[in-house]
Amino acid sequence: MIADLLTEAEQKMEMAAEHVANEFGTVRTGRANPQLLHRINVDYYGSSTPLQQLASIAVPEPRMLVVQPYDRGSLGDIEKAILNADLGLNPTNDGAVIRIVFPSLTEERRKDLIKLVRNMAEEGRVSVRNVRRQAKSEMEALHGEISDDDIRRGEEELQELTDKWVERIDKLLANKEEELMEV
């Protein structure tokens, strides 16, 4: 029973770390990253459609994204959606594709983004700890069914899992901070 609880807890902790990694991907660095546009939804013929379903996104240069819509009629809608996404980017429409040039980040903007990713990482750590707390309470509920020693060993393993996933989130944070400070 404890093994099942530990497996379930590890899966949830892994999902929390993956979520943090995905969130980090949406934070703009000095480099062009197509993942930055994955959250954008375009009002396409009256329905909200994810951008990646309407266009291909390419990275021809380190500081440029090119968005090529499958339907040229949606160019204006895509451009408007990118502008409204408040990413600090100015798309240029040449009638066939949309080019997005990434300006260099200022020192102040870099510090703001580092604060943002630190908050994202802390939310991930809190999620991992919440999974630990829930699994621990489920283990303690088994008090009459299994021995106290088994519960204690299970709690120790649970703490090791928690430390492992918190450390993984910290590594992701350190990599993202390093990426943000690159000039």
Number of compact structural domains in the chain? 2
Q: Which of 78, 101, 124 is a domain's end point?
A: 101
For the beta carbon of residue 21, count every other beta carbon within 10 angstroms. 16
Which domain-ending residue is among 84, 101, 118?
A: 101
Which of helix, strand or coil describes residue 59? Answer: strand
Is residue 165 very low, low, confident or very high in pLDDT (cuts 50, 70, 90)? very high
pLDDT category, 180, cuts 50, 70, 90?
confident
Among residues 47, 77, 101, the one where a domain terminates is: 101
What is the pLDDT at residue 73? 86
Report the amino acid identity of residue 69.
Answer: P
User: For 50, phi and psi rounded to 5 degrees?
Assistant: -60, 140
| 175 plus 112 within the same structural domain | yes
> pLDDT of 111-140, one tens digit each?
888 998 999 999 999 999 999 999 999 988
pTM, entire model: 0.71
Assess whether 58 and 120 both reside in one domain. no
Domain holding 124, by residue range, is 2-26+106-181
Question: Do 177 and 111 share a structural domain?
Answer: yes
pLDDT at 183: 62
CATH number, domain of 110, equals: 1.10.132.20
Question: Same domain for 85 and 119?
Answer: no
One domain for residues 40 and 89: yes
Burial label for 53, CB within 10 Å (0-12, 13-18, 19+), is exposed
